[in-house]
Amino acid sequence: MSATATTPGVGRVGDSVPRLDGPPKVKGEFAYASDLQAAGMLWGHTLRSPHPHARIVEIDVSAALTMSGVHAVLTHDDVPGQKTYGLEFADQPVLAHDRVRYFGEAVALVAAEHPEQARRAAEAIRVVYEELPVVSDMERATEMEPLHPERPTMGHGYRDDPRPNVVRHMVIRHGDPDAQGDVSVTGVYEVGIQDQAFLGPESGLAVPDGEGGVDIYVATQWLHVDRDQVAPCLGLDPEQVRIHLAGVGGAFGGREDLSMQIHGALLALHTSRPVKIVYNREESFVGHIHRHPARMWCEHRATRDGRLVNVRMRILLDGGAYASSSTAVASNAASFAVGPYRVDNALIEATAVYTNNPPCGAMRGFGAVQTCFAAEAQMDLLAAELGIDPVDLRLLNALAPGDVLPTGQVVEGSCPVAETIRAAAAIPVPPAEELPRDPIRLPGGAGNTTRGEGVRRGVGFAVGFKNICYSEGFDDSCAARVVLRADGSAEVHCAAAEVGQGVTGVILQVARTELGTDAVTLMPHTTSTVGSAGSASASRMTWMAAGAVRDACRAALEQRERSGGGEVDVERVHRHPRTTPLDPESGQVTGERAHVAFACAAMRVVAEVDVELGLTRVVWVGTAQDVGRAINPIALEGQIEGGTAQGIGLALMEEIQTRDGRITNASFTDYLIPTALDMPPVESVLVEVPEPAAPYGAKGVGEPPTVVSTAAVAAALRAATGKPLRRVPVRPDEIVGLALS
Amino acid sequence: MKIALTVNGECRETEAWGGESLLYVLRERLGLLGSKNACEQGECGSCSVLLDGVLVCACLVLGAQADGHVVTTVEGLADGDRLHRVQEAYVQAGAVQCGFCTPGLVVATVDLLESNPSPSDDEIREALSGNLCRCTGYAKIFDAVHRAAMS
């Protein structure tokens, strides 16, 4: 019913290994969450709010209940346990009661025999709403009526902000925030709402166990934390809720929050039948969290010879209706606001607010994408102001081990910023292609919109920087269990979510390397047979899973040695070096470190712009990435190319559009992601300086390409147009000069 | 209503509601889950199949329209355990990550190579531009198409 065991193969740490799930995936045999089936299965459907903010006056389900094929219609009254859930604060209702706070919020559930019956029954539920004023402007949110009047105090060392609708206000004061330089540059930057837009829609199957408990087969990023959110809402003990990883069609942070887990389980327990829920594309867009849109006010001061003296940034992030991971995103945006540069003085403020806009949470790059876009634009402004080459300016300020971050943390371990910048700068830029040429290679592509008269070429450079693993005192761990059989073969259990990034390959490579055998089977990912692996996010899964599997393999070998043979079965939990929270008043590190390790990427982008039409084409990308050590180079290149595509998407086309809190482009017709025609060739160089604290020296690789690429594309477009382009996605009217920017 | 179609060389009959798409019929009525349900509005190509030899999005065809016709899905390409050369190329090139778009891309690539055995980069880009992939950045997919063309 769920993913099956991954079969043995070959490949050790450092080898380029094709995916073991490749053959079933190319044959169409791999079972994704939306492919699950069970005897007697019903289809679930979720009724969602058509209003971004409204009071619920009445819900009448009587008509829906009597419709053909319908087995259950549930509302908040049917939630047996805790009524709300959430990753950091339990502020999100399982089903809305009293009021709805965002467009698309779940209000009621239906289970029926055919998905069309379920959809029609949901339409027949009568909900009477009284619309309330919509808080849609993040700048005004702090002055408006609180959306969560009974908001819990934050605790955890967070600074409680007295203003309404502030989820987290984070301040970093470093050195003398008034320090002057010889020159200063300022800018206000904006990032729109990006969506993860994974291809496999949210889906899952909930199966009642007949004894009051439930098995949930779902596409998720963190099985155990799903269980810990689901069980209290169902009024069950954690062991009565078993989460099993079903095939995941991409994640990118969008599956950190719950989707159908509780809803499916409620319907299954209510009907005593398996219930499957599959979101359609529109529901996926409104039903999951997005990347935080941001507005950033920046001032960079430097000496005449180009050394950064002081960076001041104010960052405002719209978290939407519920907290999700806004607190951590705000902290990350602040922590990485300056980029991988040395600066003795800084004042950085990041504020995440509640609004009635779509809820925002984790997405690849997690706060660092937004600030990298602003900070790198500032570095280019500074380079221009000083008459210094942008690459040289970055090299001059490049962070290195021993330097102090704005949080007061001393950089330790591997931090090859200058090496990475040099490696990217050394990749030869292709020559400009002559005109005339095939229209497919012009901005606008096959649209045949021009012969290229208005085409200008620009080259941009950017550097991005981000933490690896969880931070700020989070007790981050990963468990793995190894069973060594008498015949020398082994099975490995680890609940690390394979979301497409290739962690199952890493686990197998590590186990084969440590055990010295190819006869290793990775068992299904589940909460039933092994402890938590933590989430497949924060570029942490390779580090943590490799550490846990390595530790368990070594312990198993030792135990077998001691026992002189026979079967051994050991579980080990891996932890990275301990972190501590930042001081809530000053944002300064309270122990040795708030972040475990860092990874950077440098990227040069060549873009062409048709300045008459406002159309763009990214021609070429050359990038160097600090990876610590490559465990599987072919998978790593795929991550770099894919992560770059998402950054290009944010720079050029990807934006959730809202009108008064309502999403107006919830489809692949209207929310555009890069196609094969939009993606340039990507030349990548791996910079390998092993991270001493990490298993095998490997750093996670998923996020840095996305952090850097939006900034690099924007730089290339500025170079081509001479326009400031302070907002992404860049719009055609900004390129042709019709819009104020 | 009853519909009968030839899928991957096999005659299949099934009951279906008139509003069901060919994609739904393939997946839920016939148990052929290889064609994927990513957007179900013809934008992403994840459900690409060949209908009488023509590349279509199965989500945009009614099940009833396929009555009496011939459908090839991704499940019909491999010869038992022996992968089709396009499938083999996707695996070897590292063109599969989450893989949700892969079946549709594989079918679209088979269709492309049928009409153009050695496509240029631009021809590949244009031919596959109707298939969205969110994971790979397409570079390894282009490698896979070239590999398959040469094999």
Residue among A730, A726, A738, A734 at smallest CA distance from A295: A726
Q: Which two tokens stand for residue A428?
A: 């030869």
- What residues 500-529 of chain A have any CB closer than 8 A to a CB of chain B? 500-502
Asked whether residue B70 falls in the same domain as residue B90, the answer is no
Q: Give bridge partners of residue A464 from the DSSP assignment.
A: A601
* Same domain (yes/no): B67, B128: no
CATH T-level assignment (fold) for domain A477-575: Aldehyde Oxidoreductase; domain 4 (3.30.365)
Q: Tokens for A512, please give them.
A: 């084969």
Q: What is the 3-state secondary structure of A564-598? A: CCCCEEEEEEEECCCCCCECCCCCCECCCCCCCEE
Per-residue confidence (pLDDT) for residue A740, from 0 to 100: 58
φ, ψ for residue A546 (rounded to 5)? -60, -40
* Distance set, CA A274 to CA A1, A408, A604 (Å): 12, 53, 51
- CB distance from A439 to chain B under 8 Å? no
Measured distance CA(A296)–CA(A313) in Å, rounded: 7
Hey, which residues 460-499 in chain A have their CB within 8 Å of chain B? 499
Helices (H) and strands (E) counted in chain B, each on its own, are 5, 5
User: What is the Cα–Cα distance from B46 to B39, expressed in whole angstroms?
Assistant: 8
Interface contact flag, A27 B87, Cβ < 8 Å:
yes
Q: φ and ψ at A646, to 5 degrees? A: -65, -35
- Which of residues 25 through 64 in chain A touch B, CB cutoff 8 A? 25-32, 34-35, 37
Give the minimum alpha-carbon distance from B137 to chain A in angstroms, rounded to a whole number: 4
Instruction: State the maximum Cα–Cα separation within chain B, in Å, rounded to a whole number.
Output: 45
Q: Does A668 touch chain B (CB under 8 A)?
A: yes
Q: How many helices (H) and strands (E) does chain A have?
A: 15, 28
Beta bridge partners of A573: A479
- In the numeric block, the tokens 């994927």 are attached to B36
Average pLDDT over residues A529-558: 96
Percent of chain B with pLDDT strictly greater than 70: 100
Helix ranges restricted to H, A413-486:
417-425
Report d(CA A361, CA A374) in Å as an integer. Answer: 20
Which pLDDT value is given to residue A231?
A: 98
Same fold, A294-472+582-736 and A477-575: yes
**Encoding tokens for residue A93?**
């209702």
Pick from A709, A604, A648, A641: which is nearest to A368 by CA? A709
Cα-trace Rg, chain B: 15
Asked if A249 reaches chain B (Cβ–Cβ under 8 Å), the answer is: yes
Q: What is the pTM of this model?
A: 0.97
The pLDDT value recorded for residue A741 is 46
Which pLDDT score, from 0 to 100, does residue A669 have? Answer: 96
Number of domains in chain B: 2
Q: Which two tokens stand for residue B20?
A: 């069901």
Q: What average pLDDT is seen over chain A?
A: 95
Q: Which of B75, B107, B140 is the last residue of a domain?
A: B75
With respect to residue B80, please indicate whether it lies within any of the assigned structural domains.
no
The helix (run of H) or strand (run of E) holding residue A24 is helix A22-27
Note whether A533 and A545 are within 8 A (CB): yes
Please report the pLDDT score of residue A448 as a whole number. 79
CATH of the domain at B95: 1.10.150.120
- The answer to whether residues B98 and B116 belong to one domain is yes
Can you tell me the mean pLDDT for A109-133? 98
Shared domain for B65 and B93, answered yes or no, is no
Average pLDDT over residues A703-726: 98
Judge if the upstream peptide bond of residue A208 is cis by omega within 30 degrees of 0.
no
- Separation of alpha carbons A43 and A120, rounded Å: 12
Distance of CA A404 to the CA centre of its chain: 27
Chain B positions in Cβ-Cβ contact with residue A205 (cut-off 8 Å): none
Dump pLDDT digits (tens) for A422-451: 999 999 999 999 999 998 999 988 777 888
- Residue B102 sits in the same domain as residue B65: no
Average pLDDT over residues A647-667: 97
CA dist B50 and A302 (Å) reads: 61
The tokens describing A24, both together, are 């079933």
Closest partner CB to A116 (pick from B19, B75, B106): B19
Report the CATH number at residue B47: 3.10.20.30
pLDDT tens readout for residues B20-70: 999 999 999 999 999 999 999 999 999 999 999 999 999 999 999 999 999
Does residue B63 sit in the same domain as residue B22?
yes
In terms of domains, do B69 and B102 share one?
no
Same structural domain, B6 and B71:
yes
Q: Which of A15-19, A376-380, A555-559 has the lowest mean pLDDT?
A: A15-19
> Does A155 or A364 have the greater pLDDT score?
A364
Contacts of B87 in chain A (CB under 8 A): 23, 26-27
Question: Could you check whether the bond before residue A436 is cis, i.e. omega within 30 degrees of 0?
Answer: yes
**Whether residue B110 sits in one domain with residue B46:** no
In a domain, B64, yes or no: yes
Q: Does A33-132+201-248+255-286 carry CATH code 3.10.129.10?
A: no
Count the neighbouring beta carbons within 10 Å of the beta carbon of residue A98. Answer: 8
In a domain, B145, yes or no: yes
DSSP state at residue A6: B
| B89 and B113 in a common domain | yes
CA A385 to chain centre: 35
SS3 A240: helix
Q: Residue A199: which of B32, B101, B125 has the nearest Cβ?
A: B101
Closest chain B residue to A505, measured at CA:
B97
Whether B67 is covered by a domain: the verdict is yes
Is the pLDDT at A69 greater than 60? The verdict is yes
Q: Which of B26, B48, B75 is the last residue of a domain?
A: B75
Nearest CA-CA distance, residue A567 and chain B, Å: 33
Burial of A149 (0-12, 13-18, 19+ CB in 10 A): exposed
Q: Is the pLDDT of residue A151 over 90?
A: no
Q: Look at domain A294-472+582-736 and name its CATH class.
A: alpha beta
C-alpha–C-alpha distance, residues A133 and A672, integer Å: 30
Domain ranges of chain A: 33-132+201-248+255-286, 294-472+582-736, 477-575
Block residue for tokens 């590949």: B124
Q: Do A116 and B32 touch (CB under 8 A)?
A: no
CB contact under 8 A, B126 and A446: yes
Which residues of chain B have a CB within 8 Å of the CB of A29?
34, 75
Q: Which of B75, B96, B111 is the last residue of a domain?
A: B75
Q: Are residues B63 and B89 part of one domain?
A: no
Question: d(Cα A719, Cα A715) in Å, to the nearest integer?
Answer: 6
Looking at the structure, tell me whether residues B66 and B92 fall in a common domain: no
Residue A160 has pLDDT above 80, yes or no: no
Structural domain including B116 reads 85-150
Residues A103 and A325: beta-carbon distance below 8 Å: no
pLDDT higher than 90, residue B94: yes
Q: Is the pLDDT of residue B74 over 60?
A: yes
How far apart are alpha carbons B118 and B149 in whole angstroms? 6
Nearest to B122 among A29, A440, A643 (CB): A440
Asked whether the beta carbons of A76 and A97 are under 8 A apart, the reply is yes
* Beta-bridge partners for A656: A193
Could you tell me if residue B56 is inside a domain? yes
Interface contact A667-B96, CB threshold 8 A: no
